[in-house]
Amino acid sequence: MILRTVKLSKNYGKFRALDALDLEVKKGEIVGILGPNGSGKSTALRILLGFLRPTSGEAAIAGHDCWSDGVSARKQVAYLPGELRQYENMTGRQLVRFLGELRGQLDFSEVPRYAQAFDIDVDRPLSTLSSGMKRKIALMTVLIPKTPLVILDEPTNTLDPSMRDALLSQLEQARGQGQAVLFSSHVLSEVEQVCDRVAILKLGKLVHLQGMNELREVRRIRVHFAGPMVQPPQFASIRRWRGEDGDLVLEWVGPLQELLRWLGTQSVLDLKIEPLGLSDIYQRFHAAA
C-alpha cells in the first residue's frame, strides 16, 4: 500500500474541514477524489503533502508519516498544485531539470518524449507561454521523476481536449509502470475514463467509494411501452427501478439476455440502453452542488 489514511481529521476551530477520512491507494492504481468546493479535497491533499498538520488520525506514504516524517514521505511523491507558481525566467527544459535535480534526479532522457506527447517547445521561456502550455511543463515535472505516488490537483485545468486525452494516456502509462496516482477533478468524464476507484467527499466526509469496473457493468435502461408501464419481474440483476413519465427506468447489472427475453414478450415501442456513468452516483450526494 503506497498511501493510507486512518480516521484523518482537520479542524479549524469548531469547523471540521476533514472528518475521519479512511482511504488507501495501492501501487499501480489511479484513484480520483470528487466533491464540490468545501468538500475537503484540498485539505486532504495538503495533509498528505505535509502542508497541514492533522487534528487527529494518521496519514502515511510508503510507511512514512506525512507530518512527523514528512521529508521521507515527500520523497515518494510528485505533486501538481491546482494553482501554479513557476520560475518564469527559466525555459521549460531548465525548470524540469532544476526541480528534478533538487530531488536527486539524474536521468532526463524522457524530456523529448513528453515534449512530443504534449506538443510543446521546452526551450521557450515560461514567461512567453500560455497558461495551458505552462501547465504542460508542470505536468512534465511530476511525470518524469517516476515517483511511487503522483498527486494531481485539477490536472487538466486550462488544457484543451486533445491535451486532456494526452495527459490521461500518460497517467495510464504511469499506472502500467507501477506508479500510483491520486488526483482531484471536477470533470467526471475524465475520472470515469482513467480511474480504478473514485472517492466522493461531502462536507469533509467520505460518503462513497466506487470501483469503476463495477460501475462500468451497470446500465441505465429506459423502456417506453405501447400501453401503461409494466412493472418488471424481480430479476436479481435489477439494482433499482422506477416509473418516470410513464416509462420504466431501471439500473441493470451484468448481461442483458434475461431482460431482453422478458421485454420480447411485452409491447415495447422504444428502448434505450446506456452506461449508468459516474454522474448519477455523484448526483446522489451532490444534487444541489
Q: State the cell numbers at 107.
A: 536521468
Strand intervals (E) in 142-278: 149-153, 180-184, 197-202, 205-211, 218-225, 238-244, 247-253, 268-275
Instruction: Count the neighbouring beta carbons within 10 Å of the beta carbon of residue 265.
Output: 8
User: What is the rounded distance in angstroms from the CA atom of residue 103 to the CA atom of residue 41?
Assistant: 26
What pLDDT does 289 receive? 45
CA distance 192 to 30: 11
Are residues 97 and 230 located together in one domain of the fold?
A: no
User: How far from the centroid of its chain's Cα atoms is residue 255's Cα?
Assistant: 28
Decide if 194 contacts 6 (C-beta within 8 A): no
Predicted pLDDT of residue 288? 56
Measured CA angle at 157 (ends 151, 164), to 5 deg: 85
- Residues 156, 166: Cα–Cα separation, whole Å: 10
Residue whose C-alpha cell is 452506461: 275
Domain boundary among 196, 211, 226: 211
Judged by phi (left if over 0) then psi (alpha if -120 to 50, else beta), residue 261 lies in alpha
Residues 7 and 85 in one domain: yes
Q: Do residues 154 and 182 touch, judged by C-beta distance below 8 A?
A: no
Is 159:124 a contact under the CB 8 Å cutoff? Answer: no
Rounded distance between C-alpha atoms, residue 200 and residue 64, angstroms:
25
Question: Are 50 and 181 in a shared domain?
Answer: yes
Residue 160: the pLDDT is: 86
Q: What b-and-e string marks burial along 237-264, b requiring 16 or more CB atoms within 10 Å of the CB?
A: bbeebeeeeebbbbbbeeeeeebeeebe
Residue 244 CA, chain-centre distance (Å), reads: 32
**Looking at residue 71, what is its pLDDT?**
94
Asked if 59 and 93 sit in the same domain, the reply is yes
Beta partners for residue 91, in sequence order? 125
Q: 111 and 28 share a domain? A: yes
Q: Are residues 120 and 161 in the same domain?
A: yes
What is the pTM (predicted TM-score) of this model?
A: 0.85
Domain interval for residue 274: 217-285
Task: Based on the fold, state whether residues 193 and 278 are members of the same structural domain.
Answer: no
Which of 167, 194, 211 is the last residue before a domain boundary? 211
* Burial readout 82-109 (b: 16 or more C-beta within 10 A, e: otherwise): eeeebeeebbbbebbbebbeeeeeeeee
Are 227 and 104 found together in one domain?
Answer: no
Residues 124/96, Cβ–Cβ less than 8 Å: no
- Cell triple for residue 279? 454522474
- Which residues of the chain are under the pLDDT cut of 50? 289
Which of residues 160, 179, 211 is at a domain's end?
211
Same domain, 32 and 139: yes
Could you report the per-residue pLDDT of 126-166, keeping only the tens digit for each?
A: 999 998 899 999 999 999 999 999 999 988 888 888 888 98
CATH assignment of the domain containing 100: 3.40.50.300
For 128-143, give the DSSP string: GS-HHHHHHHHHHHHH
CA contacts within 13 A on the Cβ side of 158 = 15
Indicate whether 117 and 246 sit together in one domain.
Answer: no
Please tell me whether residues 179 and 73 are part of one structural domain.
yes
Q: Total domain count for the chain?
A: 2
- In this structure, what CATH number is given to the domain that contains residue 244? 3.30.70
Facing residues of 24 across strands? 4
Helix (H) or strand (E) holding 114: helix 111-117
Co-location of 89 and 152 in the same domain: yes
